[in-house]
Structure 1
């Protein structure tokens, strides 16, 4: 079968479906809100377009909401039926469907490994590479991300399909390992090649944040606003990075304005949007900023999601919101849901058992957590997300260690944090807040 514009072999004979799917893949790369509509057009033109069905399934799973598991399984069933109708389809199509089968069973690691193996001879084929990159990001598998992107870079050249977007993924994988100079160079090159490469833009913003370069980071994000502001809800996340840089500069009014207008401009139920909001409000409060009624704006979604443990990373952000709202019964219910999840099977069940549940008990103040606080901090990458996103939990553990007078744990947590991130005012504010709480308790 011929390869499409993105180097993927498909069995579809519909030019309209092929064009729409190619648009969907590019929109996916650029984090455009039109991705879903383009997938829909591809399936209207060819209801048996296997890669479009597979991408539809992955898109539902990556949103990590309990009610979207059924649509993902339906897309998987349709993709399998379409393969059968096309006498097995192409090898690339079979690989995508096989990987989706793993992912639909909460085996994201197996899905990513499957894509690596099945595309081992073409590691720079964009769609399977990007899907595996996204799955490993959700698993916190930075080593796997970097290994895959290094294999891709071994065959990468500027003339390859989607070359700039591929380079942006490599920049992010490098950044998550603390190689900031290299990550910045790769990210800037990616954006120069593809100005709409939101992930490359994102990688460079991470570099500036981790190195404490607030002025340079703000300048980078403001200069690229014309690109990232056209993204889907990823634009909210880019605004979150901008807000963190202003937070470090102490411009709290600007941070609150960004929260209202760009970080949380609408009450969405996407776990990534909730994570942005929760982590920013938590930080603001640790710096003594009055956030007004903004926690209340998260209450409905947090309470509705209190039993949804599809993704432990999301559940812990929900828990922080419930604790901030003072809703102890809902918080306890979520901890119990994580306990049930920990007894199941799949990637997230293991994350819940090994890390999510003991960390949730710390956050909820329920006690009985397994393991020392510094060991929990060391295990945080398994929650998924980025170093910048997980910093919320590092800070929360540091606050708990300070409140408990656990000096060895606090020192270990602080040392580990400084290996990735420049010293900032937050760690001192968190320690000071915990000290004040201890003093009040002993009066």
Structure 2
């Protein structure tokens, strides 16, 4: 690993930081490195450790406040609306920034975070892009914008944002191989599978513990339904990524998806029980919680008996029922209350989301609640109540807009699966016919998918009965 950068090293890199504390500069670098590589590195003191030492080294270092607040807001999906400490930390950052002679770049960082905190996510991305146009190697701006584009479902922007700065990330710049990994993910999400895999493999040749690049290749195999290749790859690389505490659970999720695709439910549940559930319990991170719910719901759609697993997940999700920070998260939290048959929590989630959707606000996510978030959640409820026709009526008209809820193509596939199952189980001839149309479409996108073949056989059986 490159030595951590002090004041002069940041200045030499063309990214001046307004502090005289070399210690603060190095701790800023340590926190940024861990965020960029998806790992709490014990030798660096973990992200939390670095952030508290960073504040002590220079309490008035504005960029120290920017990275701390940004990681809380963007990294953990917290919100100033729900978190009083974060609200106060944001106010402190704003006050500091007004009382100091900062660089233009630092001012843009403060404004971007202020926009994000008020729910104006697209505007925050515009400001980070403004930074990157003049400072293409500003890793914090790049990573914050990557994560936010992901939340917004702006896949093309996510790809092009890295494409614009990519030539500047020469091998001598610390963490440049990870930027290859970010670029490969954007390429993969926009269906440039071969180029994406090539770049991810280049990144892994430089650093085999790059869990994000492993994850891009896992996606490529998932999107092409190359199950055998996917299973072999995860097995071969497991020791390299299993210690990346922020991404390991997600990579195990990908591994289990191949088993669900094959119809090997016991194997999927073994990964769930050994890796996904325990990691989710210890981290409580929203990415892990979403994976947990998504995994169980896919198995539920396949008719697998899940025992008390839903009740265990509900213990983690219940406290987030009224958060409504990201609609994508809401849909997954709802899966857990439906799975655990907790009607009170389900009603609470829906009523509080309806209320939040009525309030006039600048929050990008909540503005999508009436047109997308609520019909999607309602479709899940109708399906669980056996009203398959109603579920299709809610879901089919919005299927092409669901990308706006964010997540990856692989993650949002659970919504497509729900629509297919609802149409298949519908009483109406027209909707059963729609199910077959959707399966034909899926078959073209993912040739040789065992799951699609299973569903096509099911559709044929339904047809012959009808």
Q: Normalized against structure 1, the TM-score is what?
A: 0.90
Distance 1:108 1:435, change over 3 A: farther
CA contact (8 A) 1:178 1:420 kept: no
- Structure 2 gap segments, 5+ residues each: 1-6, 41-45
Matched, 1:58 2:70: yes
Q: Which residue of 2 aligns with 1:426?
A: 451
CA deviation after TM superposition for structure 1 residue 93, in Å: 1.5
Distance 1:437 1:59, change over 3 A: farther
Q: CA offset at residue 102 of structure 1?
A: 0.2
Task: Note if contact 1:140-1:383 (Cα within 8 Å) is conserved in structure 2.
Answer: yes
> Which SS does the other structure have where 2:358 is aligned?
coil
8 Å CA contact 1:400–1:434 kept in 2: the answer is no
1:149-189: CA deviation from partner (whole Å, max 9, x where unpaired): 12122434333332111111000000001111010001111
In the other structure, the counterpart of 2:117 is: 104
Alpha-carbon distance change, 422 to 90 in structure 1, aligned in 2, over 3 angstroms: farther
Number of the residue aligned with 1:95: 108
Deviation string 1:89-131 (CA, Å, 9 cap, x unpaired) is 1222212111000000011111111110133122332111011
Partner of 1:295: 310
2:365 corresponds, among 328, 348, 362, to 348
Matches of 1:19 and 1:419, distance apart in 2:
51
1:17 to 11, 16, 24: 24
Structure-2 residue corresponding to 1:360: 377
1:239 equivalenced with 2:264 (yes/no): no
1:8 matches 2:23 = no
Kindly state the Cα deviation for residue 69 of structure 1 after the two structures are TM-superposed: 4.0
Greater displacement, 392-401 / 311-320: 392-401
Q: Per-residue deviation at 1:416?
A: 5.4
The alpha-carbon deviation at position 240 of structure 1 amounts to 0.6
Aligned to 1:410: 435
2:319 corresponding residue in structure 1: 304
Following the alignment from structure 1 to structure 2, what is the Cα–Cα distance between the partners of residues 217 and 370? 32
The residue aligned with 2:414 is 392
Q: Cα deviation per residue 1:249-278 (whole Å; 9 max; x = unaligned)?
A: 343332212111211115253322121111
Taking the aligned partners of 1:351 and 1:263, their CA distance within structure 2 comes to 30
Distance 2:288 2:202 in 1: 28
Q: Does residue 1:45 correspond to 2:57, yes or no? A: yes
Superposed structure 1 runs of 4+ greater than 6 Å apart: 366-371, 431-440
Paired with 2:411 and 2:439, the residues of 1 have a C-alpha distance of: 16
Are 1:179 and 2:223 counterparts? Answer: no
Measured in 2, the distance between the counterparts of 1:308 and 1:301 equals 13
SS at match of 1:196: coil
Out of 99-108 and 230-239, give the one that drifted further.
Answer: 230-239
Moved more, 393-402 or 193-202: 193-202
- Give the Cα–Cα distance (whole angstroms) in 1 for the partners of residues 23 and 148 of structure 2: 29
* Partner SS state of residue 220, structure 1: helix
Say which is worse superposed, 135-144 or 186-195, in terms of deviation: 186-195
Q: More deviation in 382-391 or 206-215?
A: 206-215
Which residue of 189, 196, 205 corresponds with 2:218?
205
1:82 to 77, 90, 96: 96
* Paired position in structure 2 for 1:27: 34
CA contact (8 A) 1:126 1:161 kept: no
Q: Quote how far apart the aligned CAs of 1:318 are.
A: 0.9
Q: Of 262, 273, 289, which residue of structure 2 is paired with 1:274?
A: 289
Alignment pair present for 1:325 and 2:337:
no
SS state at 1:395 partner: helix
How far off its partner does 1:315 sit? 0.5
Distance 1:437 1:340, change over 3 A: farther
1:354-397 Cα shifts (integer Å, max 9, x gaps): 21111111111187789763332211211111011111111112
Cα distance in 2 for residues equivalent to 1:7 and 1:161: 14
RMSD: 2.8
* Unpaired stretches in structure 1, ≥5 consecutive residues: none
Give 3-state SS (helix, strand or coil) of 1:120's partner: helix
Which position in structure 1 is the counterpart of 2:3? Answer: none
Distance change >3 Å, CA 125–CA 286, structure 1 → 2: same
* C-alpha separation in 2, matches of 1:285 and 1:319: 14
Query: Bigger CA drift: 60-69 or 287-296?
Result: 60-69
Structure 1 position 145, deviation (Å): 0.5
Aligned partners of 2:53 and 2:464: how far apart in 1?
A: 62
Q: CA deviation at 1:86?
A: 2.8
Other structure's SS at 1:303 match = helix
Instruction: Give the total of aligned pairs.
Output: 440
